[in-house]
């Protein structure tokens, strides 16, 4: 249903993202380069949470002509993270994964078999967290929550 609508929405959202990024760069006297654009685009297009390495591979695949270096990926991710345009996740495994921070807030549920990450939001938990921080005298800034388990698809595989 509504694949045309979805596409339109996504395009609009990406344009906004891109324009935010350009403003951010301009405000800081930084330059808008093809590499930076491609990195933002890949982060946007990917449904996955990407590691610097997987992002780098993706870019080399889609834009081999650019010959983008991994150092540029790291530098751009830092830049985006500092500006709070992307968020980094570090769940147990070594190395961080990145996701666009422009998305709405959500938490993660991670499959311990295949490493797949899904997202969810639960209002009840969200409100409870605020209360807990208050009770402990903290000024809450952010929070994150992860549930670990076995996803439907891995459960099916295991039964075979």
Q: Which residues bind a copy of itself (CB under 8 A)?
A: 88, 90-92, 109, 111-112, 118, 120, 122, 124-125, 128-129, 132-133, 136-152, 155
| Contact flag: residue 34 with DNA (CB under 7 A) | yes
Q: Which does 155 bind (CB under 5 to 8 A by kind): a copy of itself, DNA, none?
A: a copy of itself
Q: Which stretch binds DNA (CB under 7 A): 27-35, 108-116, 118-126, 142-150?
A: 27-35
Tell the smallest beta-carbon distance from residue 42 to a copy of itself (Å).
Answer: 22
Instruction: Say how far apart CA 94 and CA 141 lie, in whole Å.
Output: 25
Q: Which of 95, 9, 10, 115 is nearest to 55 (CA)?
A: 95
Residue with Cβ nearer DNA (55 or 100): 55
- Structure-token match 């099916």, residue found: 156
Instruction: Say how far apart CA 57 and CA 79 lie, in whole Å.
Output: 19
- Structure-token match 């190395």, residue found: 95
Instruction: Say how far apart CA 100 and CA 85 lie, in whole Å.
Output: 6
Binding site for DNA (CB under 7 A): 25, 29-36, 51-53, 66-72, 74-76, 78, 94-96
């Amino acid at each position: 249903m509504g694949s045309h609508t979805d596409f339109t929405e996504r395009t609009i959202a990406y344009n906004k993202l891109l324009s935010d990024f350009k403003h951010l760069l301009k405000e800081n006297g930084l330059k808008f380069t093809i590499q930076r654009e491609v990195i933002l685009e890949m982060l946007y297009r990917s449904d996955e949470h990407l590691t610097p390495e997987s992002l780098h591979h993706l870019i080399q695949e889609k834009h081999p002509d650019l010959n983008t270096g991994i150092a540029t990926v790291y530098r751009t991710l830092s830049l985006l993270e500092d500006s709070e345009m992307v968020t980094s996740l570090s769940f147990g495994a070594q190395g961080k994964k990145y996701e666009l921070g422009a998305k709405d807030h959500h938490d993660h549920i991670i499959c311990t078999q295949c490493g797949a990450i899904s997202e969810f939001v639960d209002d009840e938990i969200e409100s409870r967290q605020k209360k807990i921080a208050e009770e402990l005298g903290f000024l809450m800034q952010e929070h994150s929550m992860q549930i670990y388990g076995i996803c439907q698809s891995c459960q099916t595989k295991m039964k075979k």
